[in-house]
Structure 1
Amino acid sequence: MSNPNRVAVITGASSGIGEALARELVGEGYHVALLARRLERIVALSHELGNGAIAIQADVTDRESVVAAAARVQHELGGADVVINNAGVMLTAPFGSEKRSEHRQMVETNLLGAMTVTEVFLDQLRAKKGDLVNISSVAGRVAPAGFAVYSATKWGINGWSEALRVELQPDIRVMVIEPGAVATELSDHITHDESKRAAQDYRDNVAMPATDIAQVIAFALSRPKRITLNEILVRPTVQAM
């Protein structure tokens, strides 16, 4: 699919998969709207990328900020052709009451945040007959110890996306990307010491670079409109689970 002047909205664009994806799509001719809480990072990235890239401070758990972001995308870029729900947190730990605030944070960011962004941008996607890409995880297929709530959010993303696929076709293509271990900042925010050490060891020894996932998503988006790569599971070759 040709991409002249297509507009992609990327949440969680300040680092990791979101940042890599912004670079990949701009290289293919997209205009990108970079959404994240860390404004300085996405402003710097937008200046580096050029090609009409815009930086918008937004928190996917704050609907008003997402509505304001959508208004800017419509006004400055003419609306979204692609929305990529990438924002997420992974706060792995044994399940228990002491982590209940982190449980809520994961549900509100990973699952409800994606729902909010999609709901707010849905009219733009309908108008453009666009694409919705939801970043899930291999943890949406398996549920290791310590991943109870994180896995719940990703299994939720998968089920929600499948229902949307049925509901929105053929006007909007819905794609779910399920990465295995990726070298990003996700593990840096884990507060449970043992879980953090394990996640960072996995990142350092097993994980693939975020550019690998960015390239897979760009390929999926480039397919002719008559087909959809609805679900893509991507693991490092050495990853067992």
Structure 2
Amino acid sequence: MENLQGKTAIVTGASSGIGVAIAGKLATEGVNVVLAARSEEKLQAIASVLNEKGQGKALAVPTDVANRADVEKLVQQAIQSFGNVDVLVNCAGQMLTGAVRAGEVEEWEQMIDVNVKGVLYGIHAVLPAMLEKACGHIINIASVSGFEVTKTSTVYSATKFAVRAISSGLEKELARTGVRVTNISPGMVDTPLSGGGSTWSNGRKKLEAADIANAVVYALTQPDYVNVNEITVRPV
């Protein structure tokens, strides 16, 4: 198993839900985590809690992943603080009105900007240094909506199909470079994004954000010759 102690990870969408769970789990493994999201107040509060635990260090960097310059500054600050970036977790996401018939063009644009462009901006910013070192790990958080489309999820699903396509293509581009790529597609998770509450249809229990964090750690801790490309996590 790979030892994560002392490595550095950027986690976008780290102010709530799956993102904060991933950041917390990585910190318990001794990873220095760079927390990225738009809310500085939330990020600082989370960073304070993680730093008090005295495991991996935490740095809060307010970031709009839909802004390329913001993402580049995020990576620069991570390198200035910790020397390098070993892991990028693209977790920031928007799940808004997804039906084309609804005509919510501005909401479509927000989802495309965050869910697709944000992922690409992050990859673009960390990849040159990872290639130079011949090591690194990019983890993209997609969704089961990237496999299945409902009548209300057309545009959202399109963005998550795109994340899966980016992950699949990037893995092939980076074969034999030492840089690994993992796509994780969660089912319904109990987060503010899903409307909260522990159950949904027919009383089924939603996944916990910690379940996705565990999947991230599983992918990261495989031997360096193992590339876990796709993980799908669904409720029973």
TM-score higher than 0.5 = yes
CA distance in 1, matches of 2:102, 2:45: 39
Q: Which amino acid aligns with 2:100?
A: F
Q: Which amino acid aligns with 1:105?
A: Q
Q: CA deviation at 1:59?
A: 0.5
CA contact (8 A) 2:13 2:36 kept: yes
2:144 matched residue in structure 1: 138
Q: Which amino acid aligns with 1:35?
A: A
2:127 matched residue in structure 1: 122
Listed one character per residue, the Cα deviations across residues 34-63 of structure 1 (whole Å, up to 9, x for unaligned) are 000011111111111113210000001111
CA distance in 2, matches of 1:127, 1:15: 32
1:207 matched residue in structure 2: 206
Q: Choose 97-106 or 217-226, whichever is displaced more.
A: 97-106
Listed one character per residue, the Cα deviations across residues 96-132 of structure 1 (whole Å, up to 9, x for unaligned) are 3631110111111101110011101112322441000
Q: Secondary structure at the match of 1:90?
A: coil
Q: CA RMSD of the aligned region, Å?
A: 1.8
Query: What percentage of aligned pairs have identical amino acids?
Result: 36
CA distance in 2, matches of 1:89, 1:67: 21
CA contact (8 A) 1:139 1:151 kept: yes
2:42 matched residue in structure 1: 41
1:91 matched residue in structure 2: 96
2:13 matched residue in structure 1: 12
Q: Which residues of structure 1 form unaligned runs of 5+?
A: 189-195
CA distance in 2, matches of 1:114, 1:17: 16
CA contact (8 A) 1:82 1:125 kept: no
1:191 matched residue in structure 2: none
CA distance in 2, matches of 1:15, 1:127: 32
2:191 is the counterpart of 1:184: yes
How many equivalent residue pairs? 227
Q: 1:110 to 1:22 in 2, by over 3 A?
A: same
The one of 78, 82, 103 aligned to 2:83: 78
Q: CA deviation at 1:93?
A: 4.4
CA distance in 1, matches of 2:151, 2:123: 30
The one of 103, 115, 118 aligned to 1:113: 118
Q: CA deviation at 1:207?
A: 1.4
CA distance in 2, matches of 1:75, 1:127: 17
CA contact (8 A) 1:179 1:233 kept: yes
CA distance in 2, matches of 1:217, 1:52: 18
Q: Which amino acid aligns with 1:79?
A: N
Q: Which aligned pairs between 1:198-237 and structure 2 lie closer than 5 A?
A: 201=200, 205-237=204-236
CA contact (8 A) 2:86 2:136 kept: yes
Q: Which amino acid aligns with 2:93?
A: G
Q: CA deviation at 1:95?
A: 2.0
CA distance in 1, matches of 2:129, 2:192: 31
Q: Secondary structure at the match of 1:35?
A: strand
In the superposition, the TM-score normalised over structure 2's length comes to 0.91
Q: Secondary structure at the match of 2:36?
A: strand
Q: Which amino acid aligns with 1:158?
A: R
